[in-house]
Amino acid sequence: MQKTYSLALGWWAARWIAHIWVIKYLEEKNIIINEIAWTSMWAIIWACFAIGKTSEEMTQIIKDIKFLKLIDLNFKESIISWDKVYKMLENIFWDLLIENTLIPLKIVATNLESWEKHIFTSWKIIDAVRASINLPTIFKPFEINWIKYLDWWLNSNLPILELNWNDIIAVSVVRENNKEIIYSHKVFLWIKFKTSFWKYNYQILKKTISIVMRNNEDFCMTLAQNSWKNIILIKPDVWDYEYYDFIKYDEISKKGYEEIKDFKF
């Protein structure tokens, strides 16, 4: 009898593109997925998977997205307006409902008033995705039924605990090389130059956020394992890619395949 799995997907800016070729592998091996949980930006990819789109179709969606053109500066209530992003989501999902997808979905967001997580298992896909990919200060909190929602990644970047089944494939894209160094200097022609204020602090911020994400992922996995869940952790080697490397979608997506193909299901 063929085994079935649930999926928990981790986020981190452009690195979530690695999930596309994870799907490619699942398609090739005819691995049955009975449930999906995620939060934040990769919700777009896995919602596509849940409604029946193939990895090839999702790759084309990424190719067609002009990421810079989606940036609509606002500065009134947030840095970026949601108008262009919402229009893009409408073109992908129309009025489809979560409860009507081929694979059951759990889209996780944060209730801004209560600080508690909210799991969308019904509602319009486009609105639930919009609530889940809502980065604080970058985008204005999205409101559904007079409740405002934000991203859930600070609390649970890898939503394993939200899944009901015991056999879980979890994909994390924040497992950086432990030997990574934050450079305060750079060398050019054997001359040492001090790294700029902005680049140095960018490195620190990048590392800090990754530490928060990795720690909350580890905490969730420990709780899940203590509840006798069997977790297969996939860790694509995407640490060298920056938050904004969306144009490197081809390289990043293949990293997911390179990692998952070594596992036996």
pLDDT of residue 59: 84
**pLDDT, greater one: 63 or 33:** 33
pLDDT higher than 60, residue 104: yes
pLDDT of residue 49: 86
Answer for the pair 33, 26: CB distance below 8 angstroms, yes or no: yes
Q: In sequence order, what are the residues at sequence separation of 6 or more whose Cβ sits closer than 8 angstroms to the Cβ of residue 24?
A: 55, 256, 257
Q: What are phi and psi for residue 234, nearest 5 degrees?
A: -100, 125
pLDDT higher than 90, residue 5: yes
Nearest CA among 173, 170, 129 for reference residue 151: 129
Burial class, 149, CB count within 10 angstroms (exposed 0-12 / middle 13-18 / buried 19+) = buried
Q: Which two tokens stand for residue 50?
A: 């849940």
- pLDDT bin (cut points 50, 70, 90) of residue 42 is low
CA–CA separation, 265 and 261 (whole Å) = 10
- pLDDT bin (cut points 50, 70, 90) of residue 169 is very high
Q: DSSP states of 34-69 as a string?
A: EEEEEESTTHHHHHHHHTT--HHHHHHHHHH--GGG
Q: Which two tokens stand for residue 55?
A: 């990895």
Average pLDDT taken over every residue of the chain: 81
Alpha carbon 231 to its chain's center: 18
**pTM, to two decimals:** 0.83
- pLDDT bin (cut points 50, 70, 90) of residue 232 is very high
CA angle 100/17/81 to nearest 5° reads 75
